[in-house]
Amino acid sequence: MGSTLEIFPWRPQQGKVARMICDIHRPDGTPFAGDPRVVLKKAVKEAAKELLMVRNHLSESEAYR
């Protein structure tokens, strides 16, 4: 079992409740587009590219006396 599997201690009278954090892939190994983790990773990657573009276009003004 993965290291992200956690069985929660509540509701033992109704059966166990567990959580597992993972990436979801299609049978061919490609990421599933509806996986929230895939969506977040894509958004972070795009934001990083945009931030880099903005940072590359900034200029710094200096004045010397």
Residue 14 tokens, joined: 């109704």
| Confidence check: pLDDT of 12 > 50 | yes
Question: Is residue 65 assigned to a domain?
Answer: no
Residues 6 or more apart whose Cβ sits within 8 Å of residue 64:
none
Residue 31 tokens, joined: 């990421």
Q: Which residues constitute the domain of residue 23?
A: 6-56
Question: Is residue 35 assigned to a domain?
Answer: yes
Task: Please state, in angstroms and rounded to a whole number, the distance separating the CA atoms of residues 11 and 25.
Answer: 30
| Confidence check: pLDDT of 5 > 90 | no
The per-residue pLDDT for 32 is 93
The per-residue pLDDT for 62 is 58
Mean pLDDT throughout 6-20?
79
Give the total number of structural domains in the chain.
1
pLDDT digits (tens, 9 = 90+) for 17-53: 888 888 899 999 999 999 998 998 888 888 888 776 5
The per-residue pLDDT for 1 is 42
Residues 31 and 25: beta-carbon distance below 8 Å: yes
